[in-house]
């Protein structure tokens, strides 16, 4: 399931500590940016267990969404760098402590060589027609991108090729900065830009995503993408059981996506991996105390919620999408369901 087991390449710094890059923003948080030398940038499906290739310009993310499943990928890369002497232990918090999750948000690896490495190593025939997904384990347009431009450089390099399938996932309105490159990509490739959004409830989003752009800003970016002719839509991910999976909440979000010009809507439920629990469950306990015990029981050892819930959620979202005029992504839509159907968690209350 690892998203970053490939693409990290050799971590060689001559046995010395990698000097911290200057703080980009919010200096009181002590965010540091560390150069990550790489030998490769694309993660193959065989490495990730996914059906697509993935590419992540950064490791870690300043947005710090409490539920983000990519925290484990950051820990993997950081511990690998520590083991090879590429960085010092003083640069990274203890991943085993109660605040170990902070490393994901406050120590960001930057793959400055990503575009050059991609240009040297990308062989379209090797992809076998599979997509390249950008931003599966980090947000490619997090605040660091304003300074380092790694994502833009990657897109410019991809624009030199033809006939690829490229997907981009982000929460950030910064994506519209690159409309010129996205237009070229749309002309030469099959492109889809996914604006990630879990809810249109601003206070709720602020509780769960401490530093991410707010829903109206993301929807405004979606509107600009749509008006520019860029295939773009909303990714409702993750859907949080008992918090954002209600019919009114989902209907409001899908309606907002439709109004903003979304070409599609997709969704997936929360994955509560071990590395996520330390960050997310305390948030649940504080903001939704009645749900804490259910969250403790509802996810299996691998962090997945059961198939009954997943199927019910798919039916619910599918029905709302049809109601809002979205065409199903599959040849046949999900079966009809009763509007009052509850999303039952598999384990007892």
Alpha-carbon gap, residue 190 to 208, rounded angstroms: 33
| Angle formed by the axes of helices 150-158 and 114-121, nearest 10° | 20
Going by their DSSP bridges, the two strands 58-59 and 165-170 should be labelled as: unpaired
d(CA 92, CA 103): 6
Per the CATH hierarchy, to which homologous superfamily does domain 27-323 belong?
Aldolase class I (3.20.20.70)
> What is the Cα–Cα distance from 70 to 83, expressed in whole angstroms?
20
| DSSP letter (8 states) at residue 280 | H
What pLDDT, on a 0 to 100 scale, did the predictor assign at position 48? 81
* Lowest-pLDDT choice from 81-95, 182-196, 279-293: 81-95
Rounded-to-integer distance, Cα 33 and Cα 22, Å = 7
Q: What are the residue boundaries of the structural domains of the chain, listed by start?
A: 27-323
Task: With cut-offs at 50, 70 and 90, classify the pLDDT of residue 154.
Answer: very high
Cis omega (within 30 of 0) on the bond before 341? no
Tokens of 115: 């575009």
* 286, pLDDT greater than 90: yes
pTM of the predicted model as reported, rounded to 2 decimal places: 0.85
Q: What average pLDDT does the chain have?
A: 84
Cβ 277 vs Cβ 297: under 8 Å: no
Query: What is the separation, in whole angstroms, between the first and last Cα of the chain?
Result: 29
| pLDDT score of 9 | 37
Residue-wise pLDDT for 18-41, tens only, equals 344 333 344 445 688 888 889 999
Residue 65 has pLDDT above 80, yes or no: yes
Write the CA distances from 325 to 224, 251, 262, 320, integer angstroms: 21, 12, 11, 9
């Amino acid at each position: 399931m690892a998203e970053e087991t490939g693409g990290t390449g050799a971590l060689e710094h001559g046995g010395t500590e990698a000097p911290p890059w200057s703080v980009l923003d919010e200096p009181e948080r002590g965010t540091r940016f560390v150069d990550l030398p790489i030998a490769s940038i694309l993660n193959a499906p065989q490495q990730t267990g996914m059906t697509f290739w993935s590419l992540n310009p950064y490791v870690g993310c300043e947005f710090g969404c409490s539920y983000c499943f990519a925290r484990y990928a950051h820990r993997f890369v950081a511990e690998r760098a520590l083991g090879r002497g590429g960085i010092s232990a003083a640069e990274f918090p203890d991943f085993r402590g109660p605040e170990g999750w902070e490393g994901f948000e406050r120590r960001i690896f930057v793959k400055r060589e990503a575009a050059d490495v991609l240009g040297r190593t990308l062989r379209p025939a090797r992809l076998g027609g599979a997509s390249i997904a950008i931003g599966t384990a980090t947000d490619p347009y997090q605040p660091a991108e304003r300074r380092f431009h790694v994502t833009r450089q990657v897109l410019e390099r991809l624009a030199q090729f033809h006939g690829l399938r490229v997907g981009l996932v982000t929460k950030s309105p910064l994506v519209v900065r690159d409309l010129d490159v996205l237009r070229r990509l749309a002309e030469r490739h099959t492109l889809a830009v996914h604006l990630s959004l879990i809810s249109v409830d601003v206070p709720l989003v602020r509780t769960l995503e401490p530093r991410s752009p707010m829903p109206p800003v993301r929807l405004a970016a979606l509107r600009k993408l749509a008006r520019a002719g860029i295939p773009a839509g909303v990714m409702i991910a993750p859907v949080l059981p008992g918090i954002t999976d209600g019919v009114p909440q989902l209907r409001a979000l899908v309606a907002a996506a439709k109004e903003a010009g979304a070409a599609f809507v997709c969704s997936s439920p929360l994955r509560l991996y071990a590395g996520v629990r330390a960050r997310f469950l305390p948030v649940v306990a504080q903001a939704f105390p009645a749900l804490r015990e259910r969250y403790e029981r509802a996810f299996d050892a691998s962090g997945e919620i059961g198939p009954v819930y997943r199927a019910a959620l798919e039916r619910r979202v599918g029905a709302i999408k049809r109601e809002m005029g979205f065409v199903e992504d599959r040849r046949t839509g999900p079966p009809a369901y009763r509007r009052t159907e509850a999303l039952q968690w598999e384990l007892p209350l």
